[in-house]
């Protein structure tokens, strides 16, 4: 406990990704009493099923971004949207109102000299080696492994159980699919997608979708990245 009041946090997005991030926030609050307080979830168009799931989890639905009293309620935000492009758009629209919060689940482990940008979320089971650098609003799902000296740039999402190797550079706005592997020292260009279960053995150019083992480029770029 500290004398400081807890950091009030709102999560933007009531879909599965947003609710998982709300749970990360609650886990941090349990592990470090007084550090954070989950105020609730904001969503401009919540689905009925997602609202019901919020209610059953005891998490408050706070209304829309426009209706939330940003200027009179001191809080920071996390964008609970997995798609990197949408997350960037929402985060950029909020910078005038609030500041991003960074959340690390207590069951994640971070090596020495790990730098996390504002808005980063690290889910349970993620393992970050030494001297890792994550940019702003990077999301690492459950059981992701990031090797030593890796750099992951702003607004990238790494899905569950993916491995991003040592010395890799993953660009901005990248989606690394579930269970994918980026071998050591490789580069993944901005805006690219590494498909679920792909193995990246060479550098990936920007705005490219790669699939398979070894990963090869698909063209043109597929639009779907993830569902929530
Ligand atoms: C690669 C990916 C972006 C393709 O998305 P999409 O275009 O909507 O995919 P579709 O379902 O329309 O499939 C298009 C083609 O790609 C193939 N494909 C889809 N995902 C694939 C994958 N992971 N590996 C290999 N091939 C894949 C499909 O079989 C299909 O092949 P076809 O054209 O020969 O029939 C997506 O499947 C993916 O892997 N996203 C990663 C995100 C992720 O892991 N989400 C999980 C939540 S954590």
The pLDDT assigned to 179 comes to 98
Establish whether residue 199 lines the binding site of ligand 1, counting it when its CB lies within 6 angstroms of any ligand atom.
Answer: no
- Please give the average per-residue pLDDT across 200-224, as a whole number: 86
Task: Compute the mean pLDDT over every residue in the chain, rounded to the nearest whole number.
Answer: 95
Q: Residues 150, 132: contact at Cβ < 8 Å?
A: yes
The pLDDT assigned to 2 comes to 60
Determine what percent of the chain is predicted with pLDDT higher than 90: 92
Residue 215 binned pLDDT confidence (cut-offs 50, 70, 90) = very high
Domain ranges of the chain: 7-101, 104-212
Establish whether residue 171 lines the binding site of ligand 1, counting it when its CB lies within 6 angstroms of any ligand atom.
Answer: no
**Nearest CA residue ID for atom 17, ligand 1:** 211
The pLDDT assigned to 3 comes to 74
The answer on pLDDT for 228 being more than 90 is no
Quickly list DSSP for the chain: --SSPPEEEEEE--SHHHHHHHHHHHHHHHHSTTSEEEEEEE-SS--HHHHHHHHHTT--B---TTTS-TTTS--EEEE---SHHHHHHHHHHHTTT-EE--EE-TT-EE-TT-EE-TT-EE-TT-EE-TT-EE-TT-EE-TT-EE-TT-EE-TT-EE-TT-EE-TT-EE-TT-EEPTT-EE-TT-EE-TT-EE-TT-EE-S-B-TT-EEETTTTEEESS--S-----
What atom of ligand 1 comes closest to residue 162's alpha carbon? Answer: 44
Task: Give the tokens for residue 194.
Answer: 């590494």
The pLDDT assigned to 195 comes to 98
Determine what percent of the chain is predicted with pLDDT higher than 70: 95
Name the CATH superfamily, with its identifier, for domain 104-212.
Hexapeptide repeat proteins (2.160.10.10)
Residue 4 binned pLDDT confidence (cut-offs 50, 70, 90) = confident
User: In terms of Cα–Cα distance, which of 27, 22, 42 is closest to 98?
Assistant: 42
Tell me how far the alpha carbon of residue 45 lies from the centroid of ligand 1, in angstroms: 27
Predicted confidence (pLDDT) per residue in 86-107, tens digit: 999 999 999 999 999 999 999 9
Tell me how far the alpha carbon of residue 74 lies from the centroid of ligand 1, in angstroms: 41
User: In terms of Cα–Cα distance, which of 73, 12, 82, 4 is closest to 36?
Assistant: 4
Establish whether residue 160 lines the binding site of ligand 1, counting it when its CB lies within 6 angstroms of any ligand atom.
Answer: yes
**Nearest CA residue ID for atom 26, ligand 1:** 211
User: In terms of Cα–Cα distance, which of 92, 1, 81 is closest to 43?
Assistant: 81
The pLDDT assigned to 227 comes to 40
Predicted confidence (pLDDT) per residue in 20-57, tens digit: 999 999 999 999 999 999 999 999 999 999 999 999 99
Predicted confidence (pLDDT) per residue in 122-170, tens digit: 999 999 999 999 999 999 999 999 999 999 999 999 999 999 999 999 9
Q: Which of 163, 178, 217, 224 for a ligand 1 pocket mutation test, highest count of atoms within 8 Å of Cβ?
A: 224
**Nearest CA residue ID for atom 8, ligand 1:** 224
7-101 sits in which CATH class? alpha beta
């Amino acid at each position: 406990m500290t004398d400081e009041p807890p950091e009030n946090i709102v999560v933007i997005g009531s879909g599965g990704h947003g609710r998982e991030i709300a749970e990360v926030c609650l886990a941090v609050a349990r592990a470090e009493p007084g550090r954070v307080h989950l105020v609730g979830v904001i969503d401009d168009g919540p689905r009925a099923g997602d609202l019901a799931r919020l209610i059953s989890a005891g998490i408050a639905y706070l209304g829309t971004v426009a209706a939330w009293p940003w200027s009179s309620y001191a809080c920071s935000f996390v964008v609970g949207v997995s798609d990197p492009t949408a997350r960037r758009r929402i985060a950029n629209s909020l910078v005038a109102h609030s500041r991003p919060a960074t959340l690390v689940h207590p069951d994640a482990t971070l090596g020495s000299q790990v730098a996390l940008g504002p808005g980063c979320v690290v889910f349970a089971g993620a393992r970050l080696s030494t001297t890792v650098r994550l940019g702003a609003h990077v999301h690492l799902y459950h059981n992701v492994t990031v090797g030593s000296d890796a750099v992951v740039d702003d607004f990238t999402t790494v899905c569950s159980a993916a491995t991003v190797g040592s010395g890799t550079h993953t660009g901005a706005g990248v989606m690394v699919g579930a269970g994918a592997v980026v071998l050591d020292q490789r580069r993944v260009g901005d805006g690219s997608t590494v498909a679920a279960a792909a193995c990246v053995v060479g550098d990936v150019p920007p705005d490219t979708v790669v699939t398979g083992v070894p990963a090869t480029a698909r063209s043109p770029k597929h639009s779907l990245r993830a569902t929530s």
